[in-house]
Amino acid sequence: MSKIIASAVIRGAHKLVKQAEDMLEEVISEKGKDFAFEFPDTAFYLPMVYAMTGFPVKTLGDMRVAVGYAKEMLHPEPDEQLWVPYLGEALDSGMSTLFAEEVILALKYIKGLEPMTDPETGYVYNGFITDTIQRNLGIQLVDGTMPGFAAIIGAAPDDDTAVSIVRELQEKNILTFLSGNVNGNSVTKQLLRKGVELGWDTRIVPLGPDTEHTLYALDWAIRASLIFGGKKPGDFKAHLKYQKDRVFAFAIVLGELNDIIWTTGAGAINMGFPAVADTDVPVIHPTGVCIYEEVDKELDHTKIAQRAIEVRGLKIIVEKPPIPVAYGPAFEGERIRKEDMFIEFGGQRTPAFELVRMREIEEIEDGKVTVIGEGWQEKYEKGGKMPLGIVIDVAGRKMQKDFESVIERKMHHNINEAQGLWHMGQRDINWMRISNNAKKDGITLEHIGHIMTTMTHHRFRSIVDKVQVTIYTDEAEVNRMSEEARRIYKERDHRLGSLTDEAVDTFYSCLLCQSFAPSHVCVISPERLGLCGAYNWLDGKAAYEIDPTGGNQPIQKGQLLDAKFGRYEGVDDYLKKASGGAVESLNLYTIMENPMTSCGCFECIIALVPEANGIMIVQRGHTGMTPAGMKFSTLAGSVGGGTQNPGFMGIGRNFIVSKKFLHGDGGIKRIVWMTKNLKEGLKEEFDKRAAEEGVPDLLDKIADEGVAEDSEKLLEFLSSAGHPALEMEPMI
């Protein structure tokens, strides 16, 4: 075994820095040094350079500075014998590699070479990962549905091995990035050949065909500490610590290693991400000193995924129902097109509904699944479409009627997580498909019942003691039962409508995002949901019953200190402790003074538009300009990290139509600009609220991106529309 590790790292870094420098000068001679560049949809410039040095690269000229930093960290190329003495320097060189790779990829974007397309298959790689995607995945990162990330570099020895490694990671809910190649072959190509669905929906994301593309995954990781962790750009120690402690990433290197892989790997190790290779890498120095604790080998491909997970110290518990197809959140995003469909239910094609009912313990038999419908097997075997009613009866000592809807909402995930099953909607507007492949694997309606019993027990273990499922397939039966279902939905809605902040003594906190944003606390009241949109008051209440020491804690709201702004003594007391002193006082119903903090996974951002005496709202994913003079990505940069920022706030989408929405600032009449997407999506409820506020046509008076993307045009529109905000008392 030759002694090459540290030297390979340093040599690789030299190569890449040189390449970055040469390429940069070439592009500058063509475009000039003032040519501006940003990666698609990010507020963090070249994120690695920005996080580590605080320097925002905005132009080609700025890239010279970045390359300068990379050079500074470089060490002279060593002779072949150097090992341990170079270890620290090898890690420095790893970081200069990451800077160089970031510059190279940016230049490739400028040259129109990124994201790359695979010439054989026409497959377009993901390229740079946007801030939007990062925020979209925020909750999954914190609530454990996505326990970690793998970067697979290279190619497996054969296609089937590639599929089995990736499937194992998928079943463990790990997000997998693919990059690199071995003599032109790669895991991406191997999966494509096997017809595996790739992309964010299935949690397998091919970044690009070269080792350098691994940088996109690291760029993604480093933004977690900027976005969620509130770490300051330039505070490299804080960033590196955050990465090591909170970002559960690791690499699997398949195939022979070369200088570029070693040096990229050293960069990743610098960030605290270990790697496991499938080749006989020298992990122990002949003198017995461990070279890289973070590099390991596992020659058996059936064990390599598990080995990597262990090396990163991840504990993953997977619950799988007894069904003949794969199961896990990674299969949730999978779509079933018409051609691939064996049978479907609901979706306006057949009558269908789903319902969870609370029962007495002695009324039901645990685990029992019954299908009611004459000759249903024969009808099912024919395929096509079929009526379907699913009733889940649950009982438990700690079960409450309020939890019915919480459990019912999970039916969507329960079904979608099965490979080859697809579900949309809820209640009596649900729609479900089973794929030809799932049918071939033997899935039946009874299995759907088993999924429901297993997963309901699993997800709600301490509130549910017994679960029984009845599936109806006769049209007349489905219609009869859906009448009862509708009556129950109505009762629930009525109850929910009467749930106000005043009507309860207890609010709930959500601390889940503290794993990423340590000082952030969501205070969830009946009329204000968590800012990610995934947790409302009932969810908080149920989650607390399920796990009394978990991320949702009751807050005795205590004495009302300010009704207009929504300030409660108990909430303030709780927050002082739960935020580690970062928040002294909170007003639930205003954006102007001590507003709620934001972690980073908000569905929407509200921002003050002082010129218009109102506020604007933009949702995650909107890439256009806003009248605040900033895009969502930039706005988001000034709201996250668990601090209070008067004038800016992250919120859950449904909060907009709550009676408590900015109650202290004048309510929905303050909305002067809102994207079309929000206007259309919330129309029905918004119009109802607007009528209550005495301005039934408010939605038409609110501007959107169609009429204004700057404050000047906005003001013109507002005055011609006669927007009420112009007449309201000044916000500041």
Binding site for Zn ion (CB under 5 A): 138, 513, 599, 601
Q: Rounded CA gap, 396 and 399, in Å?
A: 5
513 binds ligand SF4, rule: CB under 6 A = yes
Q: Which does residue 510 bind out of Zn ion, ligand SF4, none, counting CB within 5 to 8 angstroms by kind?
A: ligand SF4
Q: What does the DSSP 8-state code read for residue 360? A: -
The 3 state secondary structure assigned to 392-411 is EEEECCCCCCCHHHHHHHCH
Among 148, 272, 530, 642, binds ligand SF4 (CB under 6 A): 530
The 3 state secondary structure assigned to 296-314 is EECCCCCCHHHHHHHHCCC
Among 355, 443, 455, 510, binds ligand SF4 (CB under 6 A): 510
291 binds ligand SF4, rule: CB under 6 A = no
- Whole-angstrom CA distances from 673 to 207, 210, 651, 660, 714 are 36, 43, 16, 19, 8
Closer Cβ to ligand SF4, 142 or 343, answer by number: 142
534 binds ligand SF4, rule: CB under 6 A = yes
Q: Rounded CA gap, 646 and 446, in Å?
A: 53
Residue reference for tokens 């399920």: 546
466 neighbors 331 (Cβ within 8 angstroms): no
Residue reference for tokens 């820095």: 17
297 neighbors 282 (Cβ within 8 angstroms): no
Per DSSP, the three-state class of 730 is: coil
Closer Cβ to ligand SF4, 86 or 632, answer by number: 632
The count of other CB atoms within 10 Å of the CB of residue 288 is: 6
- The residues with which 175 forms a beta bridge, in sequence order, are 149
Per the structure block, which two tokens stand in for 447? 């299995």
Smallest distance from the beta carbon of 417 to ligand SF4, in angstroms?
Answer: 19
702 binds ligand SF4, rule: CB under 6 A = no
156 binds ligand SF4, rule: CB under 6 A = no
The count of other CB atoms within 10 Å of the CB of residue 198 is: 19
**Span interacting with ligand SF4, options 195-203, 336-344, 428-436, 505-513, rule CB under 6 A:** 505-513
522 binds ligand SF4, rule: CB under 6 A = yes
352 binds ligand SF4, rule: CB under 6 A = no
Q: Rounded CA gap, 503 and 520, in Å?
A: 26
628 neighbors 714 (Cβ within 8 angstroms): no
Q: Rounded CA gap, 274 and 295, in Å?
A: 6
Smallest distance from the beta carbon of 598 to ligand SF4, in angstroms?
Answer: 8
Smallest distance from the beta carbon of 507 to Zn ion, in angstroms?
Answer: 17
Among 532, 578, 678, 715, binds ligand SF4 (CB under 6 A): 532
601 binds ligand SF4, rule: CB under 6 A = yes
Size of the residue set binding ligand SF4 (CB under 6 A): 13
512 binds ligand SF4, rule: CB under 6 A = yes
599 binds ligand SF4, rule: CB under 6 A = yes
Q: Rounded CA gap, 537 and 552, in Å?
A: 10
Q: Which does residue 107 bind out of Zn ion, ligand SF4, none, counting CB within 5 to 8 angstroms by kind?
A: none
Q: Which does residue 295 bind out of Zn ion, ligand SF4, none, counting CB within 5 to 8 angstroms by kind?
A: none
Smallest distance from the beta carbon of 551 to ligand SF4, in angstroms?
Answer: 7
Name the closest residue to ligand SF4 (Cβ): 530
228 binds ligand SF4, rule: CB under 6 A = no
Per DSSP, the three-state class of 717 is: helix
**Span interacting with ligand SF4, options 167-175, 277-285, 293-301, 524-532, rule CB under 6 A:** 524-532
Max intra-chain CA distance, the chain: 82
Per DSSP, the three-state class of 285 is: coil
Smallest distance from the beta carbon of 170 to Zn ion, in angstroms?
Answer: 24
Instruction: Tell which positions 401-460 bind ligand SF4, by CB under 6 A.
Output: none
Closer Cβ to ligand SF4, 482 or 514, answer by number: 514
Angle between helical axes of 87-110 and 60-73 (0-180°, round to 10): 160
Closer Cβ to ligand SF4, 175 or 609, answer by number: 175
- Tell me, what amino acid is at 311? V
Radius of gyration of the chain (CA): 27
Smallest distance from the beta carbon of 642 to ligand SF4, in angstroms?
Answer: 10
137 binds ligand SF4, rule: CB under 6 A = no
Per DSSP, the three-state class of 192 is: helix
596 binds ligand SF4, rule: CB under 6 A = no
Closer Cβ to ligand SF4, 186 or 405, answer by number: 405
Smallest distance from the beta carbon of 530 to ligand SF4, in angstroms?
Answer: 2
Q: Rounded CA gap, 668 and 694, in Å?
A: 11
Closer Cβ to ligand SF4, 390 or 510, answer by number: 510
Q: Which does residue 394 bind out of ligand SF4, Zn ion, none, counting CB within 5 to 8 angstroms by kind?
A: none
> Which positions lie near ligand SF4, rule CB under 6 A?
139, 142, 510, 512-513, 522, 530-532, 534-535, 599, 601
